[in-house]
Amino acid sequence: MRLVLLTQREITDQYGEKTDVMESSYIRYFTELSYVPLAVSNFTENTDASFEKSDISAVVLTGGGSLPTEYYDKDYGYEIQKNRDLKETELIKLCLKNNIPLLGICRGMQFINGYFGGKVSQLSGLKKERPTGKDHIVRFKEQTLLVNNYHNDGIYKHNLSPELISVYEDTVNGTVESFISPKYRILGVQWHPERRFSNTGSKEKTKAMIKNFIEGELQ
């Protein structure tokens, strides 16, 4: 069984109880990639036991919600996901220790950058406005992708952790849209591979990039 562990948002429900939430699109996406997706609760204990007993192909830090305050370039007054932050920090450490691929999507990418000492900013002053839901171009060397946009925060190039290497960028606005690690098996993508793309080719190239990363074939 080739498991992919997926993290979840932390919210407070109508009864005041802390609750895990994750979009079903993540489950469908990684199932299509021929993995068995397994959602990890923010409130489970002994997560390290799963790494000892299971064939884990990758861990995915998913999107949705804000980061720890110290991961931002300033305090924006965001709501904290305390239990999620603790769980994702634990999962990062376990991935690094066990040499397991770690994929960060949107908020997950930002969390990894913060973990390694980088900073995240509100993208309120971009040179070229990027409306939510409207695809935009990202570039890596001679390659371009037209990717979706469902985030209000991001990583300016000067705020990328020195432990990470920028890959795809929005060169007009100076933001990092994807990164890798020269030391660990880490890939971050700011866009959402599991959501709608206006360009089928870009969707398929993203799928290939993620599949190759998990399988250890990303160049």
Catalytic residues: 106, 192, 194
Phi-psi region of 196 (alpha: psi -120 to 50; beta: other; left: phi over 0): beta
For residue 18, the cross-strand partners are 12
